[in-house]
Amino acid sequence: MKRVLVTGANGFIGHHLVRELKKRYYWVRAVGAPRGNGDLYEEADEFVASDLTNFFACNIITRDIDEVFHLAAHIGGIKYISENEVNIMRDNTLIDLNMIENSYLNGVKKFFYSSSACVYPSTSTNEIHVSPIKEEDAYPANPEVGYGWEKIYTEQLLERYRKEREIDIRIARFFSVYGIEIPYKGDDVKSLIALCRKVAEAEDGGEIEIWGDGSQVRCFCYVDDVVNGIMKFTESDFIGPVNIGSDIPVSIREVVDAIIKISGKKIIKRFNLDGVTGVKGRNCDCSKAKKKFGWKQTISLEDGIKRTYDWIMEDMKNNG
């Protein structure tokens, strides 16, 4: 039985990935911060609460492991990212350096790294109507936020580990992942999730606030499709980097309308033009994933929003 390690395992994508790996009969060591989803104690073969900014902690958790799925990161919504760049860049650099070096020292054969669409230059996202972003567009590098700079630096570091230390490195760049079991409280959550929560909390006939004028464009991909993409990618011969996301751009205004329709409520939309909006437009080119390992998005935005909204409603009802 192949022994794998998932970091960020009690995070959103990580929890879903642990579940899928167990379905495929992997032995899974799940590593996360000492908080979060208690189900992992039962779902994984082993759960370890660990601080990955500590070098020696990373050495311990990577022992006797064949493959690492490294998803752990200090991250939040666009408002949080833009206001906490020092903490995010410092912590993520330490985490990524510690994980790859100790994976090498302990003989890990394959290392998957979850990168981000934030690595792409700001020039590719400063218009509403933008061309789909291809993997090659990451250079010349000019990410729009510090989080993106740290991610692209780590991608470069991992390429050197591949060449000089012969580790099988796999790099995927995610675009706006959402779905059930995602954190939805507070102002530092992703836009689609925050909007689902606002509509869920609103009374019929009430009002919600939307940051910006609603023209911002994103490509949202449901978590089950992303996890399937991770598995297809890591089980293929392709090394990446590769985009994993939706190739169907949608405006925030369209997302809001879809959520309201699913809710069955009548909601007044109030646009806060001073709110933090992030990039104007982001459009994902997924052709390489389709060509190299046969992955494509299967869950429509409407279906994904309904699943997510219904889950948030149920969780609010049960947990307040």
Residue 205: name the closest of 288, 265, 148 by CA: 265
Residue 98: name the closest of 38, 48, 155, 58 by CA: 58
Distance set, CA 288 to CA 18, 20, 154, 245, 282 (Å) = 25, 23, 21, 11, 17
Q: Measured in whole angstroms, how far is the alpha carbon of residue 24 from the centre of its chain?
A: 22
Determine whether 178 is an active site residue: no
Residue 122: name the closest of 242, 278, 277, 241 by CA: 278
- List CB contacts of 109: < 8 A, sequence separation 6 or more: 66, 67, 167, 168
Q: Give me the residues paired with residue 211 across strands.
A: 272
- List CB contacts of 113: < 8 A, sequence separation 6 or more: 70, 96, 154, 155, 158, 169, 170, 171, 172
Name the catalytic one among 147, 178, 184, 222: 147
In degrees rounded to 5, what are phi and psi of residue 83? -100, -5
What tokens appear for 169 in the block?
A: 């490195």
Residue 155: name the closest of 122, 112, 121 by CA: 112
Say how far apart CA 292 and CA 153 lie, in whole Å.
25
Which of the residues are catalytic?
147
